[in-house]
Amino acid sequence: MIEKIKSLEVLARTLDPAPTSRAILWQQTQDYVEGFLKELGQKKAYQKAELPQLSKLVINEEGGLMSDVLDIMKTEIDHVGINSTAGQHLGYIPGGALWASALGDLLAAVSNRYAGMYYASPGGVLLENQLIRWLCELVGFPATAHGNLSSGGSIASIIALTTAREVHQIRSTNVRKSVIYFTPQMHHCLNKAIQIVGLGECICRLIPVNQRFEMDPDLLRKQLEQDTSAGLSPFLIIATAGTTDTGAVDPLEEMAMISQQYNTWYHIDAAYGGFFLLVERMKERLKGIDQADSVVMDPHKGLFLPFGTGVVLIKDGQALVNTHTQEASYMIDAYGFDEINPADCGPELTKHFRGLRMWLPLHLHGLQAFRACLEEKVFLCRYFHEEIQTLGFEVGPPPALSVTLFRYPAANPTAFNKALIEAIHEDGRYFMSSTLIEGELWIRCAVLNFRTHLQEIKGALEMIADCLEIVRTA
């Protein structure tokens, strides 16, 4: 047996490269990253392509070369589709990918601290919990609030709605009488969450929006009155602070008062808009966010982190913990510490140590850089909103945050603007996306990438003028 073990050890040890081999891999990776970042501004924001074959992706017994993987990255992954970390990305809600976050990820992946339990990594858990505390303070939640870093807004929403369901004791006996209120502009991850956490049998009321795509609070009140008179139980009101389509912010304060009056859970989806709280002039717009029972924010949007970080904050932190704590015999060594375990605040047990990718850039660059970058985006969007009109475009309401809508007023606007967005995608210098609002097609300009500055917005306007010319003369 010793002979067998020793012979296996030879190959097993190749999984742990020696410092000299590491240095080579390290250098190749660094060269690739530097090359990528150097070319980033010149590359297309969108490259349409047939589904590529990952030609060199072979997994065999002997293993291969780093250079093969970097080749695939360069030719078949990093040049096709949306270049989401470029400042020319103005579609959907742009992501970011601060370079310092990548370093945080690297550090977390190398040391692989288990930040789910205080017992396993007291420092890692304290770091995550301090970030949660900072976020709670940003939102205006009390010291008894708590939360969880998740992979994104979708999972964060599942945690929020699970907690709401437990606090309000929604069971098979009352689910069909329980009512949820939201607007047609709510993000579809919440429809998914409603299904996933077993609330699919609740009654869902779509409350109409006003011309700025914000929930009409009078219609919400009316619906609640009707429902309570009919013997139904209002359970959950969902507001959005920054809708994906138009960046609209629902009337958070008024909805909070209505929620209190009817004793419902009040959830605010601030996945896109939440971090505008860092901008002094935007605080007024988000007033009332502290009245929520739960808030979801996406650091991989508003804090410019790479994809894979969302956050849920629950005002009643104990309810979050009660909802997500289960005991297991093999975990007994980890019990008995005062600090809240991240693993007791959501569905994930073992997870990536997400705190570092968020803490490192905040620490290195300081908050003032984030505040400036977010405020710059607000003004860039307002600038775009003004300038696009001088090209003859019709626009949506003045941007509440950093998303705006536009379309060309042609005889058949939907067909014309469909051709225009196709021309924009064909051009690819800047990426934008379109949406249907009440059946009408609009093009969106969403400014949130940290690399988007005035030069990019001017370039996007030029591209749109070029594409307009192409479509008009077609």
Residues facing residue 46 across a β-bridge = 82
CA dihedral angle for residue 188, residue 193, residue 194, residue 200, rounded to 10 degrees: 100
Q: Please, are residues 317 and 186 in contact by the beta-carbon 8 Å criterion?
A: no
189 binds ligand PLP (CB under 6 A): yes
183 binds ligand PLP (CB under 6 A): no
CB of 437 to ligand PLP, least distance (A): 15
Q: How far apart are CA 416 and CA 443, in angstroms?
A: 11
150 binds ligand PLP (CB under 6 A): no
194 binds ligand PLP (CB under 6 A): no
Q: How far apart are CA 386 and CA 361, in angstroms?
A: 33
Q: Which of 159, 160, 236, 271 binds ligand PLP (CB under 6 A)?
A: 271
- Interface with ligand PLP by CB under 6 A: which range of 139-147, 266-274, 275-283, 359-367? 266-274
159 binds ligand PLP (CB under 6 A): no
- Residue 80 sits at φ, ψ, to 5 deg, of -125, 140
Q: Which residue is nearest to ligand PLP (CB)?
A: 153
Provide the token pair at 104.
Answer: 């945080």
CB of 230 to ligand PLP, least distance (A): 30
Provide the token pair at 120.
Answer: 């396993």
- Interface with ligand PLP by CB under 6 A: which range of 3-11, 104-112, 241-249, 461-469? 241-249
CA-based nearest residue to 102, from 114, 110, 92, 90: 110
Q: How far apart are CA 327 and CA 345, in angstroms?
A: 13
What's the Cα-to-Cα distance from 13 to each of 10, 17, 18, 65, 373, rounded to whole Å?
Answer: 6, 8, 9, 17, 46
215 binds ligand PLP (CB under 6 A): no
Give me the half-sphere count of Cα atoms (radius 13 Å) on the Cβ side of residue 66. Answer: 13
Q: Please, are residues 268 and 289 in contact by the beta-carbon 8 Å criterion?
A: yes
Provide the token pair at 125.
Answer: 């858990």
Residues from 351 through 380 that contact ligand PLP (CB under 6 A):
none
Q: Which of 83, 121, 154, 341 binds ligand PLP (CB under 6 A)?
A: 154
CB of 275 to ligand PLP, least distance (A): 12
Helix (H, G, I), strand (E, B) or coil at 313: strand
Q: Please, are residues 295 and 265 in contact by the beta-carbon 8 Å criterion?
A: no
Minimum CB distance to ligand PLP smaller for 234 or for 310: 310
* DSSP letter assigned to residue 398: P
CA-based nearest residue to 193, from 321, 347, 354, 358: 347
Minimum CB distance to ligand PLP smaller for 4 or for 188: 188
- Interface with ligand PLP by CB under 6 A: which range of 163-171, 248-256, 267-275, 442-450? 267-275
CB of 143 to ligand PLP, least distance (A): 27
Residues from 67 through 96 that contact ligand PLP (CB under 6 A):
93
298 binds ligand PLP (CB under 6 A): yes
246 binds ligand PLP (CB under 6 A): no
Minimum CB distance to ligand PLP smaller for 125 or for 400: 400
Q: Which of 118, 235, 265, 272 binds ligand PLP (CB under 6 A)?
A: 272
- Interface with ligand PLP by CB under 6 A: which range of 215-223, 238-246, 257-265, 363-371? 238-246
Provide the token pair at 113.
Answer: 């601290």
Question: Count of CB atoms within 10 A of residue 199's CB?
Answer: 20
178 binds ligand PLP (CB under 6 A): no
Q: How far apart are CA 286 and CA 289, in angstroms?
A: 6
CB of 258 to ligand PLP, least distance (A): 21
Q: Which of 85, 88, 244, 433 binds ligand PLP (CB under 6 A)?
A: 244
Residues facing residue 241 across a β-bridge = 249
CB of 303 to ligand PLP, least distance (A): 12
269 binds ligand PLP (CB under 6 A): yes
Pairing state between β 310-314 and 294-297 = antiparallel
Q: Which of 240, 264, 291, 434 binds ligand PLP (CB under 6 A)?
A: 240
- Interface with ligand PLP by CB under 6 A: which range of 36-44, 120-128, 148-156, 161-169? 148-156
CB of 269 to ligand PLP, least distance (A): 5
Buried b (16+ CB within 10 A) or exposed e, 259-283: beebebbbbbbbbbbbbbbbbeebe
Binding site for ligand PLP (CB under 6 A): 93, 152-154, 187, 189, 240, 242-244, 269, 271-272, 298, 310
